[in-house]
Structure formats: structure tokens, C-alpha cells
Structure 1
Amino acid sequence: FPKPETSTITLPSKPTARLGYTYYAPSSISSPAHPNLFAQTLVIFLNGLGLPRSSWTSAITHFLCERASLHLPYPALLTYDRYGQGDSDQDPDDPEPPPCHGHDAISAVDALHELVLELWDTKKHECVDPSLQPTMSALPALIFVGNSLGCALARLFAQRHPGTVSGLLFLDSIMANSDFVSLWPDPDIPGFDPKSLPAGVSMDDVRKTREEYRKRFHPDVPTFEGLSRKNLRELLPLAHGPKLPPGPYLTVVGHDWLTFAQQCQDGPMHTPQPLVMAYLNPTWTRYNEGLVKITDEDRAIGPIIAVGCGHFIQKDGPQFVAEELAGLLDRVVNRVEQLMDR
């Protein structure tokens, strides 16, 4: 079980700002006699907007304990906080203090690419026999495990750097093309029928829900990390495309409908559970059904449900995440073709 390295790094493009990261070395140095099939692989965990990199610790611990107990190899693992998150400094190029629309998802993806280049250049000697290093590429084979916005960043990275991403595990991806308001019915449009609402839900309940989601989740709302979602709908207008070439192995996971609806009702917005069940959950499921189409059909699994988990699946179900990551790794290394539905 590797002792993680927790540190900070500065990128050449932003030398005045530190990024906090935690790096887990792979199981062993790979050599011709004892190859580690994951020696040139790096798993990167991508945060959403809501939780920092520490939210992945429990899932990683479950994953490493299981691999070690079965004497199975494992790749290098990396968690990090984007600029403005957790232990990282604000993006020095943001024109105003947070909350703000300081930079967009493409800027975050470019910073991630630069981070991987910088870190891998210093870490690859720990992963591979020195005699094999001259044949290594500048980037490792990447596997992204993303939650929420992190899934959108993974898609954009794979688009901008084709062929570098071999696996994707999406945990309740953000609906990148949604404004999170229009998915609810509008009770103030002419001819709206109050009887179309779920039992026990009033028109005023819907108005309050639309307003709460507008204030918190609309793309025009600035974020404390400074990452703007204003243009996310233009960057990723479709759930099912563009298709990623060459097709990475993909697992799409959605939240548990009942758990999520209960969390929404109990949370600060007090969204009525029947509203979530009638409108938000079906919309999100349709989005996830589109996501499985961004890769080759025989390389996609899902959407599957993380039973008992709300939106933050790595928090509610760390063992589930560990198991799905292990399954994805096996598919990547063995080139296993599986059915979309499991």
C-alpha cells in the first residue's frame, strides 16, 4: 500500500500560483521480468464544483486495499485541486476576486494537461525500468474518474488530446447543455395546467424550485473557484457527441433516484421529492443514456445506478467507486468488449 505524496506544484504558465495534489505511486517498477501492466498508466480523479480532492480519499483507499490483498498490480493515481479549490491558489489570470467568471472549462483542461506533463516527467522514472523510459511518450495512458463537472472536463480533454485517454468513469456527470431551470415546468406560461403537476406539489412549489435552481446552478452564476460555465453549453452541446476517437473504455454511472430525491428534499433548497422524481431524475437519466454513445458501442457500459448514492457518488459510495474503477482497469488492460447494459 503506497504512502501518498501530498504536495504542491507550480505550472510554467502560472508560476505564481500553487496547485495542491496527492500522488500515489504504482504497485512496482515495471521490468521485462516482472511487468506492471499499468506502468505507463495514470488514473486522475476529477473534482466537480462541490467537493475538493480529499473527497476521493476513501474510494482510493478501498481500491488500493483490495488490489494489495489480491496481489494485483495498480497504476499511479493522482488527485488535485483545480485553481480556486481546496489547497490550491486562485488562478492568477482571473480578472476579479471570487466568486467570478474568471476562466472557462478549456482553461481548466489546459491547466490539467500542463499538470500531467510536469508531474509525469518527474514521476515516470518511479514507474518503469530505466531501460524502457526512452520509449515512453510524454503523456501516460490516462484514465479519468470524474464526478459532475469533472466528467465534462474529461470529455473536453479527450477531444483536445485524441488518443491519450484510454478509460473514463463518469460518476453523475453534469448535464453540460442544461441551464438547470428549463428542465422544470413553467407554471406561469399561458394555459399551464396545475393538474399536470405531481400530487401534493403546488404551482408555488415549482416557482420556488425554478428560482432556487436559477440562483444556484444556472450557468450565469459565478463560482468560488472562478471556473465559468457560461460557455459549457457551446463546448458540449450534446450528451451523445462528439464521439471520442479512438474510443476509450467508458462506464457511465447515475445517482440512485430515491436517494437523490430525498437528499434534494432534505437539503438547503428543500426541493419537493415528487418534483425531483417527475422532472429532474428522468432528464438526468436521458442525459446519461446519451453519454454512453460518445465511444464505441462495445466499449461502453451503462448507465448503471450507484445504489444508495446521491450526486456525490464518491462520498456516498466509495467502495462502489473502487469496484467500478477496478472493473474499468481490467477492461482497458485486457481489451475486453462488453455490452452497454450490465
Structure 2
Amino acid sequence: MSHESSIVSSILTSTVSGVVSGLSPAANLQHGFLRLPGKESAKLAYTFCKSPSNDPVATLIVFVNGLMLPRSPWEAVMHHFYGECLDAAVPCPPMLSYDRYGQGDSEQDPKDATSEKEEGYGHDVMDAVDDLHGILLHLGTDKFGHIKLGTSKLILVCNSIGCAIARLFAQRYPSTVCGLLFLDSIIANSDLVSFIPDPDAPNFKKGELPDGVTLEMLRETRKKFMKIFHPSVKNAEGLDRRSLPSLLPSAHGPKLVGLKGNRPFLTVVGHDPEKFAEDGETGSLEIPRAITTNYHNPFWAKYNQDLVHITDSAAAKGPITAELCGHFIQRDDPVQVARLLFRLVSSVREHGW
């Protein structure tokens, strides 16, 4: 057993002081590293908060990052979610966040060094899916308080591309997930450029430009989005996104199969359109508000409206607008996220899953 694995085993099988007595979990969050089988040369960073309950059919909440924020902002969500449980006098489930290979405190994916793919495309979203499964297997069973995939309740809380990874995880490993909280999901079936009209296309109708939008705005915004957001653009994480539109070609399907064959509970949350437009205009990309208002926000809103259909209507909530939040909802308002998560967990509990 490696030194890091020994630390993990020691931490996760120990009792986290203060949880039972009702203290804040802030001092009880355990930070560590693990090495996945077959990828022992690289460390994955995680944060874990153990539940005081030893229920053999426990609920595990896993936070899945987007591309641009590491796991650290989830700690505030954990803190406030614990407070929600404390106020309601219900047990707080164990919680896990982690940095994927190449982000936050984790090292680069060892696969990148041996892959025959072009540099920057060494691992893709399906590798990220399998890495999450590997984490749960590697640290599972008694180390997570008797968590066992297929019998325990797995709830995934995700932002941006993390939502796509969660969907693919639930598809690849059916009957493992009973709840999903999507925070401003990536528009997985888009190249993230073409929803903005091309003013130089043969069929473009200049007379249909909305008020405040110019041809130059369209050209410049498309150029910026192509450089930053297109799935072919490389990123520091080394995560290849080019296959994402073909892996998830539809926002509304396929329907997911959750724990015990049931449809998982799902809450879809979108950004505040005004805050998102403001962030785009004042941020480094300087996207004109008129572009965001007329094109980006409506396109994203439609995607979220379709996204709720990946489960049954009785199990779906949303789309909900996260007021005063931009794309990084967990950073902008962790209290709101904690409350939404508490409602989701309550729904799971009420249905005896």
C-alpha cells in the first residue's frame, strides 16, 4: 500500500470529531490524496466529511467540478448543507469532493504521457467518468461508511462540464445514482459558437439584427468563443472535450436509470440572466450585454428546459434560476446550493431510497 493510500485509509475509517455533537464540519473536513489503480504515478486530491451514521445503506454526496473551478468552493456548500441538516435534526450524509487529474491540487493524468493522441488531448470525458468510478471503488465500502455502488444512495452535485460527466456516469453505470443537482450545466451538444449567428454566412439576414447588436459584435464574439469555448480548445486540465456533442447529442435524453431501476431525482439550476450578462460584459472577454441577452441566455435557457426530461417529470425540478448568480453558482451563493441540495436529499429520503 502506498503512503498516500495508507493516509486515506486512516482518515476515512476514523471518526470525525464534532459531527455528532453538532459542531460545524469546517474543522472536520479531511483533505488528502489517493492513487488510483493503474495510475499510481499521479496523486488525486480530495476533501471528505464523514457522516456520524453507520447506516449500511448510507447516502454519499459527491461534488463534481466544472472545468474552471477546483474542488475548494464546494467546502462552503458542505458547511451550509451541514447546517441545514442540523436545523432539521436529520443525519448529515458523508460528502466527497475531488480535483480531477490536471486541476486544483491533483497531478496530471498519467495517461497523457503515454497516449498516442496529440498533446493536450490525452484523456477525455469518458476517462473522467471512469476515474470517478475508480475513486468510489478504491475508497468505497467500509471506508465510506459501508458505501457500496448499486446499493447505497449516490447523489451527484455538479457544475458546468461536471453535469455532463455526471450524466455520462449515470449512463455508463446505471442503477448507481439516485439524485442529481445540476448547476448551470454545460450545453453539451453544442460547439458553443454556432448559436451566435455568423454575419458572413450566405443566408445571414442583416435586417433581422436585434436592437443593440452589430455585425462587428457578432464577428468578435464568435472569434472569442471559438478561441476559448469551442470543444476543440485545449485546457490546463488536459481534458479532451471534442467527443462531448456526440456522446450527449440531446439535452432531453436518454432518460437515466437510477438506484433500484428508478428514475433519479433531478434539480436543474441555471444562472441569473442579468448577472451572467453583467459578468460577460465586465469580465476579461468583454462580451456585449446585447449579445448575451439576445443569443447566449435564450439558448442556454432552452437547453435547461430540455434537460429536466432526462428523468421522469415527477422526479424533476426546474429549471430554477439562481438569483444573483453567474455561471459558478456554488461560488456565488453556496447557501442557495446547500438549500437546494437539502431538498433533493429530502426527496430521496421520503421515497425510501
Q: How does the TM-score come out when normalised to structure 2?
A: 0.87
Task: Name 2:168's counterpart in structure 1.
Answer: 156
- 1:217 matched to 2:242? The reply is no
The number of residue pairs the alignment matches comes to 321
- 1:10 matched to 2:28? The reply is no
Task: Name 1:192's counterpart in structure 2.
Answer: 204
Task: Name 1:303's counterpart in structure 2.
Answer: 319
After superposition, residues 152-301 of structure 1 pair within 5 angstroms as 152-190=164-202, 192-245=204-257, 246-301=262-317
Q: Percent identity?
A: 48
Task: Name 1:340's counterpart in structure 2.
Answer: none
Task: Name 1:322's counterpart in structure 2.
Answer: 338
Instruction: Give distance in 2, aligned partners of 1:10 and 1:27.
Output: 26
- Equivalent pair of 2:150/2:175 in contact (CA under 8 Å): no
Give the drift of 1:269: 1.0
Give the drift of 1:27: 3.4
What stretches of structure 1 move > 6 A for 4+ residues in a row? 96-99
Task: Name 2:121's counterpart in structure 1.
Answer: 101
Give the drift of 1:137: 5.4
Task: Name 1:23's counterpart in structure 2.
Answer: 48
Give the drift of 1:191: 5.1
Amino acid at match of 2:211: A
Secondary structure in structure 1 of the residue aligned to 2:327: coil
Instruction: Give distance in 2, aligned partners of 1:48 and 1:282.
Output: 21
Give the drift of 1:98: 11
Instruction: Give distance in 1, aligned partners of 2:255 and 2:213.
Output: 39
Secondary structure in structure 2 of the residue aligned to 1:54: coil
Residues 232-283 of structure 1: CA distance to partner in whole angstroms, max 9, x if unpaired?
Answer: 0111010001111231000001111111011011111111111111111111
Q: How does the TM-score come out when normalised to structure 1?
A: 0.89
Secondary structure in structure 2 of the residue aligned to 1:45: strand
Secondary structure in structure 2 of the residue aligned to 1:53: coil
Secondary structure in structure 2 of the residue aligned to 1:168: strand
Instruction: Give distance in 1, aligned partners of 2:306 and 2:174.
Output: 20
Task: Name 1:333's counterpart in structure 2.
Answer: 349
- 1:72 matched to 2:97? The reply is no
Instruction: Give distance in 2, aligned partners of 1:137 and 1:101.
Output: 30
Residues 76-127 of structure 1: CA distance to partner in whole angstroms, max 9, x if unpaired?
Answer: 1000000001010100110489971111111000011010111123524xx3
Gaps of 5+ in 2: 1-23
Task: Name 2:136's counterpart in structure 1.
Answer: 116
Instruction: Give distance in 1, aligned partners of 2:203 and 2:225.
Output: 23
Task: Name 2:10's counterpart in structure 1.
Answer: none
Amino acid at match of 1:63: F
Give the drift of 1:70: 3.3
Instruction: Give distance in 2, aligned partners of 1:28 and 1:140.
Output: 13
Residues 283-317 of structure 1: CA distance to partner in whole angstroms, max 9, x if unpaired?
Answer: 10111111111011110011110011111000111
Amino acid at match of 1:20: A
- 1:42 matched to 2:60? The reply is yes
Secondary structure in structure 1 of the residue aligned to 2:341: helix
Instruction: Give distance in 1, aligned partners of 2:87 and 2:52.
Output: 12
Instruction: Give distance in 1, aligned partners of 2:174 and 2:204.
Output: 47
Residues 163-187 of structure 1: CA distance to partner in whole angstroms, max 9, x if unpaired?
Answer: 1000000000000111111000111
Instruction: Give distance in 1, aligned partners of 2:73 and 2:189.
Output: 25
Secondary structure in structure 2 of the residue aligned to 1:303: strand
Give the drift of 1:30: 3.4
Give the drift of 1:138: 6.9
Residues 201-223 of structure 1: CA distance to partner in whole angstroms, max 9, x if unpaired?
Answer: 21111100000000000011011
Instruction: Give distance in 2, aligned partners of 1:57 and 1:98.
Output: 35
Instruction: Give distance in 2, aligned partners of 1:301 and 1:115.
Output: 29
Give the drift of 1:197: 2.1
Give the drift of 1:69: 3.4
Instruction: Give distance in 1, aligned partners of 2:33 and 2:181.
Output: 26
Instruction: Give distance in 1, aligned partners of 2:142 and 2:211.
Output: 59
After superposition, residues 79-98 of structure 1 pair within 5 angstroms as 79-95=97-113
Task: Name 1:339's counterpart in structure 2.
Answer: none
Instruction: Give distance in 2, aligned partners of 1:162 and 1:189.
Output: 43
Identify if the C-alpha distance between structure 1 residues 320 and 24 changes in structure 2 by more than 3 Å, giving closer, same or farther.
Answer: same
